[in-house]
Amino acid sequence: MSAPVTTADVQAAAAAPVAPAAANHLSLEQQQQIAAAQAQAAQAAHFAPVPAAAPTASASLYIGELDPSVNEAMLFEMFNSVGPVASIRVCRDAVTRRSLGYAYVNFHNVADGERALETLNYTLIKNRACRIMWSQRDPALRKTGTGNIFIKNLDASIDNKALHDTFSAFGNILSCKVATEEGQSKGYGFVHYETHEAAENAIKHVNGMLLNDKKVYVGHHIAKKERQSKVEEMKANFTNVYIKNLDPEVTQEEVEALFTKFGPVTSCVVSTDENGRSKGFGFINFENHEDAKRAVDELHDSEYKEKKLFVTRAQKKGEREEELKKQYEQQKMEKLSKYQGVNLYVKNLDDEIDDEKLRQEFSVYGVITSAKVMRDEKTAAEGEDAKGASKGFGFVCFSSPDEATKAVTEMNGRMLGSKPIYVALAQRKEVR
């Protein structure tokens, strides 16, 4: 693990200054820290930052992180200033034609592609920094874990460009990305190097280093399948047991005595509040997996001091959260599947149309399970309207897809009140 950056490191970095583009983007302290890492790497491995090399006989660039409104014309104007562009394609959803947020730009020659990558990477387009890299169409090469590293505990100010500036000193980067949610950093990212050696060098020199006063962890990226395999292995060989629904009067010693019947226990903890009173749950760790499994099998749902115990394999916080997330997604998908093809979206409704009127107009086409006009809760709260003003749209749910399809055919464009209504099958938000 590398030591935090020192003044001596910064002085030694004079031979490997931070690129001007990076200097404009980063704080002085961050520039010094990056320069120190570059200097350490150059002294240890005797190499200079490697320019991004194009894949053989390819002049195709991948452009990511694009705003949905960015189109081919905008990209042509930007990239054609570097060199003659052969073609541009913004990738879009096959059904909605909405941009997927990335595009491919093909140049006539590799030299122009290299220049575009060097001069335009992280340029702002519609207030978003675009991410440019060489297009890699071979899925086998894209998915290989060779040269892929994982960085966590990143400061919120470190974006794609800052991450790229930090790690480009160690070798040619194929791709680089900070994970985000709604535009905010999630505190971790990935860098994919062209070679395993470059990845090793980055891990060696940046792991444990301070970036914006936060010590970062850098290690080899472990593929999701491999991570899941390790989790499954851990589940199959667990030794830590979780117990809940304990009577508050039960002591830690009594819990330990209850479990030692099954085998040697290395630790036993009953959780307590600030007053030392039991919270009714605890953890017991066995020496052997077999003993832990037998304890779970025999004690779960058994009665102890007039309380039915809940005993199971202890889970880490992340694993519990992941499991709850999966359950939520599964329930969500089941609910969506239930209404797929039977739920109609109706818009351009007259202000006078209410739930009952909506149901009445559509009921001739089949059995309606629900009919609702969406209303403004704010106006209802302010007393302007007991129900709230109509938002001009609503939903009608039928008992079968055939009924719903017939209603769409017959009702779309029909006058309802003083307006022609629009009727279509309702779509999930992510599909729209």
The pair of structure tokens assigned to 419 is 């307006």
φ, ψ of residue 246 in degrees (nearest 5): -80, 145
φ, ψ of residue 106 in degrees (nearest 5): -110, 125
Q: Indicate the pLDDT class of residue 113, thresholds 50, 70 and 90.
A: very high
Residue 391 to residues 369, 379, 413, 415: CA-CA distances in angstroms? Answer: 21, 11, 19, 18
Q: Which residue has the tokens 């200079």?
A: 48
Question: What's the chain's average pLDDT?
Answer: 81
Residue 13 — left, alpha, or beta (φ > 0 → left; ψ -120 to 50 → alpha)?
alpha
For 264-288, the pLDDT digits (tens) are 999 999 999 998 899 999 999 999 9
Give the pLDDT of residue 45: 40
φ, ψ of residue 78 in degrees (nearest 5): -75, -50
For 48-88, the pLDDT digits (tens) are 344 444 444 468 999 998 999 999 999 999 999 999 999 99
Give the pLDDT of residue 87: 94
Residue 264 — left, alpha, or beta (φ > 0 → left; ψ -120 to 50 → alpha)?
beta
Instruction: Compute, in degrees rounded to 10, the torsion defined by CA atoms 284, 288, 292, 294.
Output: -150
The pair of structure tokens assigned to 88 is 């541009």
Distance in angstroms (rounded) separating the CA atoms of residues 363 and 411: 11
**Residue 108 or 42, more confident:** 108
Quick one: DSSP state of residue 147? Answer: T
Nearest-CA neighbor of 61 among 119, 16, 15, 13?
119
Instruction: Compute, in degrees rounded to 10, the torsion defined by CA atoms 287, 288, 293, 296.
Output: -10
For 379-405, the pLDDT digits (tens) are 655 554 567 889 999 999 999 888 999
Distance in angstroms (rounded) separating the CA atoms of residues 91 and 139: 17
For 118-149, the pLDDT digits (tens) are 899 889 999 888 989 888 755 555 555 678 89
Distance in angstroms (rounded) separating the CA atoms of residues 394 and 413: 15
Give the pLDDT of residue 29: 59
Domains in the chain (CATH in brackets) are 7-224 (3.30.70.330), 239-313 (3.30.70.330), 339-425 (3.30.70.330)
Residue 14 — left, alpha, or beta (φ > 0 → left; ψ -120 to 50 → alpha)?
alpha
Give the pLDDT of residue 257: 95
Distance in angstroms (rounded) separating the CA atoms of residues 342 and 331: 18
Nearest-CA neighbor of 216 among 305, 152, 288?
152
Q: Is 223 within 8 Å of 230 (Cβ atoms)?
A: no
